[in-house]
């Protein structure tokens, strides 16, 4: 079967959604030799991804994942990574602020791969236990409006693709796009940053095909897979099956006199230090960019009509010290569980 698919890719023909899903399902069950997968991924890179292929991949991964159940609406903030800018962990900081602004955040993430600090790294550095069962994540969501899902514990079958991805590295593969599309809590509202503007439409189309209700797919003109405070950010907003493209100009929200170098870090400890400065509401560039991204989460959740209103809501969360309190509560709760992994 897979030789037919490889021949199709060699001819630069797109795979159908079902073809992609069935192939990756076999991969995730360990049925495809790594040399075949490596060839498949390289050919897919040469051809370019389609939204049908990405949808098929995502459906296969979702089906086999270790899911988190929550009786309510959740929002996720998970980027593709790979922008190479080595900034502090903006998405995690923004997610914590949003969770204190009326939004339930089911944060999907991993340790650093291309950055100097992944979401798992910064949370561990803060003393939060990330190795939780699905049931324990659900308790965190219910009690604290925030739960972190450590990707390797929810997508253990990804071990079958590790050798091929390592062989292809430093080149990216379609798997770089799948983290944000495979949230174990089945988040229907998402803020997704991508490492290239050329991928925005494909990711947006895929989200619609996966049944996403509301989302913003973003890439900033300065290269970040976040909403930037240094340059305009390209946006495709999804509202049910409708797509709307526009730009966010940070000057509409903040006056920033710094450079991107001011939010770069060398490791998770520096990333934590910067995150804690935001949580303590210190007036820094890190605070500005975290607020703007948190505001996008509040906006996507439907808690505000505009991003401007959402910025004010998030500012109040920081001023109230609720974010600082939330981090301490997360440390206490996540380390209180019995049989923690």
pLDDT digits (tens, 9 = 90+) for 134-190: 999 999 999 999 999 999 999 999 999 989 988 998 888 999 899 899 999 999 999
Is residue 49 domain-resident? no
- Residue 131's region, left for phi above 0, alpha for psi from -120 to 50, else beta, is beta
Whole-number pLDDT of residue 142? 97
Q: How many domains does the chain have?
A: 1
Is residue 132 domain-resident? yes
Is residue 329 domain-resident? yes
Instruction: Indicate the DSSP class of residue 264.
Output: B
Is residue 214 domain-resident? yes
Percent of the chain with pLDDT over 70: 97
Is residue 156 domain-resident? no
Joined together, the tokens standing for residue 27 give 């991969």
Is residue 24 domain-resident? no
CATH number of the domain residue 90 falls in: 3.40.1030.10
Instruction: Indicate the DSSP class of residue 263.
Output: G
Give the pLDDT confidence of 208-240 residue by residue, as tens digits.
Answer: 999 999 999 999 999 999 999 999 999 999 999
Please give the residue range of the domain that contains residue 297.
Answer: 75-150+179-334
Cross-strand partners of 234:
219, 247
Is residue 199 domain-resident? yes
> In which residue ranges of the chain is pLDDT below 70?
1, 112-116, 339-341
Joined together, the tokens standing for residue 94 give 């923004």
At 234 the three-state DSSP class reads: strand
Alpha helices in the chain (DSSP H): 2-10, 17-28, 34-47, 51-64, 90-99, 119-125, 134-144, 151-154, 162-168, 200-209, 268-279, 285-301, 307-319, 322-334
Is residue 68 domain-resident? no
Within a 10 A sphere around the Cβ of 16, how many other Cβ atoms? Answer: 15
The whole-model pTM stands at: 0.95
State the Cα–Cα distance between residues 34 and 53, nearest whole angstrom.
20
Of 133, 139, 132, 92, give the one whose Cα is nearest residue 112. 92
């Amino acid at each position: 079967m897979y030789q037919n698919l490889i021949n199709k890719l060699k001819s630069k023909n797109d795979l159908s959604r079902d073809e992609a899903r069935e192939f990756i399902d076999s991969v995730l069950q360990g049925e495809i030799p790594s040399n075949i997968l490596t060839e498949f991924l390289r050919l897919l890179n040469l051809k370019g991804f389609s939204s049908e292929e990405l949808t098929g991949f995502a459906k296969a991964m979702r089906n086999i994942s270790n899911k988190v159940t929550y009786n309510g609406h959740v929002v996720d903030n998970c980027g593709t990574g790979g922008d190479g800018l080595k900034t502090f962990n903006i998405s995690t900081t923004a997610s914590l602020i949003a969770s204190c602004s009326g939004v339930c955040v089911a944060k999907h993430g991993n340790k650093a791969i291309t950055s100097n600090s992944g979401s798992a790294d910064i949370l561990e550095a803060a003393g939060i236990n990330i190795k939780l069962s699905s049931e324990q994540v659900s308790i965190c969501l219910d009690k604290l409006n925030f739960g972190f899902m450590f990707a390797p514990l929810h997508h253990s079958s990804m071990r079958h693709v590790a050798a091929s991805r390592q062989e292809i590295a430093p080149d990216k593969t379609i798997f770089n796009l799948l983290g944000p599309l495979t949230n174990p809590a089945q988040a229907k509202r998402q803020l997704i940053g991508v490492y290239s503007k050329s991928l925005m439409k494909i990711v947006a189309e895929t989200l619609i095909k996966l049944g996403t209700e509301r989302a913003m797919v973003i890439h900033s003109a300065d290269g970040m897979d976040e909403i930037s405070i240094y340059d305009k950010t390209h946006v495709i907003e999804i509202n049910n099956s409708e797509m709307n493209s526009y730009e966010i100009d940070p000057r509409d929200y903040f006056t920033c006199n710094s450079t991107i170098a001011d939010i770069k870090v060398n490791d998770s400890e520096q990333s934590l230090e910067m995150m804690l400065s935001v949580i303590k509401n210190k007036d820094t560039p890190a605070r500005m960019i975290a607020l703007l991204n948190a505001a996008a989460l509040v906006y996507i959740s439907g808690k505000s009509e505009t991003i401007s209103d959402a910025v004010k809501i998030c500012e109040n969360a920081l001023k109230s010290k609720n974010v600082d309190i939330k981090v301490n509560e997360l440390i206490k709760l996540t380390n209180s569980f019995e049989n923690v992994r």
